[in-house]
Every structure is written in C-alpha cells, then in structure tokens.
C-alpha cells in the first residue's frame, strides 16, 4: 500500500503516519524528519534546508524531489510506504506521479487530515518532537510517560524552532498557497480520502483504517 498524508502543518499527519506504518509494517517517510536529521548531523543538505525551514518556507523542489524518488526505490519500500510531508507542491506531486508511472506503479490513497487553522496554532505550541526517531507528542493530547523523554527511544524531546506561533502562521500561509492545491490534484487522480482531524487521535486512526480497508 502506497499512501500519502496531506493536511496542514500540525494536522496530525506524522502521528497518523507512524500508527499506519506500525499497522501495515511499511516505512514512514517524512521529509521533515529527513531534513531535521541532516541539520542535526551538519550535512550540506541540512545547512541549505535550515535556511528555509527556520523561516517557515518550503525547501526548494530541487533539494527535495530526488531525495524522495530515490528513497521510495529502496528495498524496504517494495510492499509500500507512507509519505508524510511530501509532496508539498504541484511540481513535487507531478514528479512523483511520473517516477511511479515509469515503473507501472501508483499511489493507492492520499489521506487529507482536515483541521481548521484556528486549531493548529494551539496544537503546535504543545507539540514535542523527537529528532532521533521522529516521534511526536503533545503535552496535553498525547503526553509521554516521562515528561520530556521519548517513549519510543528514550531521547530528549525538543520544541521545534519552527513551532513558534509566528512561524506557524507563516507555514499555514505557505500551506494554503502551495500545498492545498494537491487536494484537487489527488481528487483528480481518484485517490483522495478525507478525515476529520479534530477528533481524538485514536478516532482519526480508526476512521483512516476503515476507509483504507473498504
Ligand atoms: P509539519 O509536520 O509540521 O508539517 P514537517 O516536519 O513536515 O512539518 O516539515 C517541516 C519543514 O520542512 C517545512 O516547513 C519545510 O520547510 C520543510 N519541508 C518538509 N517537507 C518538505 C517538502 N516536501 N518540500 C519542501 N519543504 C519541505
Ligand atoms: P503534522 O505531522 O501534520 O505536522 P503531528 O502529527 O506532528 O502533525 O501533530 C501535531 C501536534 O498535534 C503534535 O503535538 C501531536 O501530538 C498533536 N496531535 C496529533 N493528532 C492529534 C489529535 N487528533 N488531537 C489532538 N492533538 C493531536
Ligand atoms: Zn524517539
């Protein structure tokens, strides 16, 4: 199963992607996680990506597309994968469709997690992230067993620089301009499904599973 997660920053894409990856035993591929791990390791890509990420802007397609197209050709992707945070622009989506069609493959579902902007800013200020394993938590809605420590891997959690309210506002604007058009793009390909992302995260997960298993 090849799945794309769509939705605003903070809609819960990563949370749901991790749960789906566990259930279907396929990799969770998050471009944000890939960039953050490059930043942490001080790579050239990380240095370039950070300039854009800190401002709430998208990393240019030239730095993003090949990375993902290569990644989905890995051996561990042969039974499918979940793309989280990619594609984020129409050119990225077109590049993905083209690369897949060259191998007679296609995306099975693009899951749009719908959350209104008003709910996003408060959600983000409570988000805590693990840069080691990519897990995300929320201080109220999805707390860890020990405050500040990742349940999955034991590393210290961070409050992302780009989760400050000013940057979140900018990211929402960028989302509406550049990423929201993907909803129509995947509707056109006949694979769009939408879920109400304001529900409790376990209910959102059940809704997604029910749709995927239809
Ligand atoms: P969120 O999950 O909150 O939406 P991500 O971790 O997916 O955030 O992304 C964080 C930042 O990384 C984005 O604001 C953007 O700067 C960059 N980024 C991630 N994925 C992409 C992509 N596909 N294209 C361009 N930039 C990206
Ligand atoms: P995205 O990957 O779309 O940016 P995340 O999965 O990181 O979003 O979720 C953003 C924040 O909201 C995190 O702190 C997460 O724990 C929390 N969250 C995720 N889903 C829900 C939900 N259904 N209800 C309340 N909070 C949620
Ligand atoms: Zn972790």
Residue 204 contacts residue 119 (beta carbons within 8 Å): no
- Would you call 47 a catalytic residue per the annotation? no
Check pocket membership of 28 for ligand 2, CB cut-off 6 A: no
pLDDT of 121: 87
118, exposed or middle or buried, with CB in 10 Å at 0-12, 13-18, 19+? exposed
- What is the whole-number distance in angstroms between the Cα of residue 101 and the centre of ligand 2? 32
Q: What digits encode the pLDDT tens for the residues 88-117?
A: 999 999 999 999 999 999 999 999 999 999
- What is the whole-number distance in angstroms between the Cα of residue 61 and the centre of ligand 2? 25
Residue 122 scores a pLDDT above 90: no
Q: What digits encode the pLDDT tens for the residues 11-57?
A: 999 999 999 999 999 999 999 999 999 999 999 999 999 999 999 99
Closest CA to 15 of 178, 197, 212: 197
- Would you call 103 a catalytic residue per the annotation? no
Give the C-alpha separation, 172 to 153, whole Å: 30
Closest CA to 201 of 30, 9, 17: 17
- Would you call 127 a catalytic residue per the annotation? yes
Q: Which two tokens stand for residue 189?
A: 């390909």
Mean pLDDT score, 176-191:
98
- Would you call 160 a catalytic residue per the annotation? yes
Whole-structure pTM value = 0.96
Which one is catalytic: 2, 36, 123, 160? 160
Closest CA to 180 of 2, 60, 8, 4: 8
Q: What digits encode the pLDDT tens for the residues 129-176?
A: 999 999 999 999 999 999 999 999 999 999 998 998 899 999 999 999
Ligand with smallest separation from the Cα of 111: 2
- What is the whole-number distance in angstroms between the Cα of residue 10 and the centre of ligand 2? 5
Q: Which two tokens stand for residue 90?
A: 């129409």
**155-184 in b/e burial notation, b at 16+ Cβ within 10 A?**
eebeebebbeeebbebbbebbeebbeebbe
Nearest-atom index, ligand 2, CA of 113: 3
Residue 62 scores a pLDDT above 90: yes
Nearest CA residue ID for atom 5, ligand 1: 32
């Amino acid at each position: 199963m090849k799945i794309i997660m769509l939705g605003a920053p903070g809609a819960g894409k990563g949370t749901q992607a991790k749960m789906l990856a566990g259930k279907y035993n396929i990799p969770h591929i998050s471009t944000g996680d890939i960039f953050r791990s490059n930043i942490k390791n001080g790579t050239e890509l990380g240095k370039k990506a950070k300039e854009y990420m800190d401002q709430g802007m998208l990393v240019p397609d030239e730095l993003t597309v090949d990375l993902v197209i290569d990644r989905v050709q890995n051996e561990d992707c042969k039974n499918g994968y979940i793309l989280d945070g990619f594609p984020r622009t129409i050119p990225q989506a077109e590049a993905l469709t083209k690369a897949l069609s060259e191998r007679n493959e296609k995306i099975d579902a693009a899951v749009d997690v719908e959350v209104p902007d008003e709910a996003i800013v408060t959600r983000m200020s409570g988000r805590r992230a693990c840069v080691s394993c990519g897990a995300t938590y929320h201080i109220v809605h999805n707390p860890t067993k020990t405050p500040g420590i990742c349940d999955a891997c034991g590393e210290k959690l961070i409050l992302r620089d780009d989760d400050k309210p000013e940057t979140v506002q900018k990211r929402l604007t960028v989302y509406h301009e550049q990423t929201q058009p993907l909803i129509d793009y995947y509707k056109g390909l006949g694979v769009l499904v939408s879920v109400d992302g304001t529900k409790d995260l376990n209910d959102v997960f059940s809704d997604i599973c029910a749709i995927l298993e239809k």
